[in-house]
């Protein structure tokens, strides 16, 4: 078998292993990377790994599932960029709830420039907690991202100025609730402190060195990092909500696929992205988000879009767990 550009096509099992490896770059709540891949000769299975769950912060596994959905999208685009047509089944076995998805290569597809752009963006994508500069995100950029989310059945709504004011209040309530919750604080400390697991969690280089001067307060990790935030603000930032009609695991997986797709397209557009999930993690503020959305749906995650201040250092890269820790490969020779 050859790809459209003439290179030898890897055997599917090797392609599945490469896709699992590429999916390791996906974003995840607190960089927990709560997924486990099983490479089989005929398919790639994605499982939730509850050993890296956040029971205090994320008791229902919402953010865990959204994170796994983002990894699923990363694997999907890696297979497409390698010239494979892929069939994706989510939650394929009701008797096996940890099996979140199965990907199966069904044939060859031409490698499109779009597929190449997305896998390249996956290498560059990162969470940007630097404030943004006075360059507005254009309506055309937001419209493109809306269409990208729509392809996964997920809505993207740009918050108007009044709704951003409501978001400021919701974020502040969420931070107060988190500060009053010892289990929450303990988990944040575990994934951002010196005892975080090797290859996971947030290193000091990606945590601001002081509270940024933004209207919508950034997540408080309870520790000062070394990321220079400079004097930017969020006045020209755009806040969008990914939301949908359902609030169950299937919906959260789709939200994760859409989050990854939107984030990678925003990266191609040159935009900096920062998720805000604390307002969705806490019951009271999740209800506030529903009111902000005029009860039209359930919020999955809020994103700040903007242009980062080029004067200030790029955030360092977050580490990743070794491949062997997130992936089991069986019967490669079969």
Ligand X SMILES: Cc1cc2nc3c(=O)[nH]c(=O)nc-3n(C[C@H](O)[C@H](O)[C@H](O)COP(=O)(O)O)c2cc1C
Query: What are the residues binding ligand X (CB under 6 A)?
Result: 27-31, 63, 66-67, 70, 126-127, 129, 202, 219, 274-278, 301, 318
Nearer to ligand X, 81 or 227 (CB): 227
Q: Please report the beta strands in the chain, taking only residues with DSSP state E, as ranges in sequence order.
A: 35-40, 43-48, 84-90, 99-108, 155-158, 238-244, 272-276, 298-306, 327-329
CA-CA distance, 182 to 189, in Å (whole number)?
10
At closest approach, how far in Å is the CB of 138 from ligand X?
24
Nearer to ligand X, 126 or 157 (CB): 126
Nearer to ligand X, 82 or 202 (CB): 202
Nearer to ligand X, 102 or 260 (CB): 260
Nearer to ligand X, 163 or 318 (CB): 318
Nearest to 119 by CA among 1, 324, 267, 306: 267
From residue 170, how far is each of 157, 279, 288 by CA, in Å? 17, 6, 7
Write down how long the chain is.
Answer: 334
CA-CA distance, 254 to 153, in Å (whole number)?
7
CA-CA distance, 4 to 90, in Å (whole number)?
28
At closest approach, how far in Å is the CB of 28 from ligand X?
5
At closest approach, how far in Å is the CB of 316 from ligand X?
9
Tokens 């959260």 locate to 252
At closest approach, how far in Å is the CB of 136 from ligand X?
22
At closest approach, how far in Å is the CB of 66 from ligand X?
4
């Amino acid at each position: 078998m050859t790809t459209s550009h003439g290179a030898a096509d890897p055997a599917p099992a090797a392609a599945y292993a490469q896709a699992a490896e590429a999916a390791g770059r996906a974003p995840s709540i607190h960089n927990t990377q709560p997924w486990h891949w099983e490479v089989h000769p005929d398919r790639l299975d994605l499982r939730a790994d509850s050993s890296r769950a956040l029971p205090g912060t994320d008791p229902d596994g919402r953010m865990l599932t959204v994170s796994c959905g983002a990894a699923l999208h990363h694997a999907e685009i890696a297979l497409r960029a390698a010239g494979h047509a892929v069939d994706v089944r989510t939650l394929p076995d009701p008797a096996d709830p940890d099996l979140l998805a199965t990907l199966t290569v069904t044939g060859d597809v031409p490698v499109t420039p779009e597929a190449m752009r997305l896998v390249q963006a996956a290498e560059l994508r990162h969470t940007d907690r630097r404030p943004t500069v006075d360059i507005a995100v254009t309506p055309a950029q937001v419209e493109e991202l809306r269409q990208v989310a729509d392809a996964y059945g997920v809505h993207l709504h740009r918050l108007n100025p009044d709704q951003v004011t409501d978001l400021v209040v919701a974020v502040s309530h969420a931070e107060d609730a988190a500060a009053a919750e010892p289990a929450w604080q303990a988990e944040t400390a575990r994934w951002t402190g010196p005892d975080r697991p090797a290859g996971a969690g947030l290193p000091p280089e990606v945590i601001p060195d002081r509270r940024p001067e933004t209207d919508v307060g950034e997540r408080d990790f309870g520790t000062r990092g070394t990321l220079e935030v400079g004097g930017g603000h969020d006045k020209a930032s755009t806040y969008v909500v990914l939301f949908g009609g359902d609030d169950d695991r299937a919906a959260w997986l789709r939200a994760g696929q859409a989050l990854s797709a939107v984030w990678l397209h925003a990266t191609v557009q040159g935009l900096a992205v920062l998720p805000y999930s604390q307002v969705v993690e806490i019951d009271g503020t999740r209800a506030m988000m529903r009111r902000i959305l005029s009860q039209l749906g359930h919020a999955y995650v809020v994103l700040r879009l903007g242009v980062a201040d080029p004067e200030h250092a790029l955030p360092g890269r977050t580490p990743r767990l070794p491949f062997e820790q997130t992936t089991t490969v069986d019967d490669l020779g079969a």
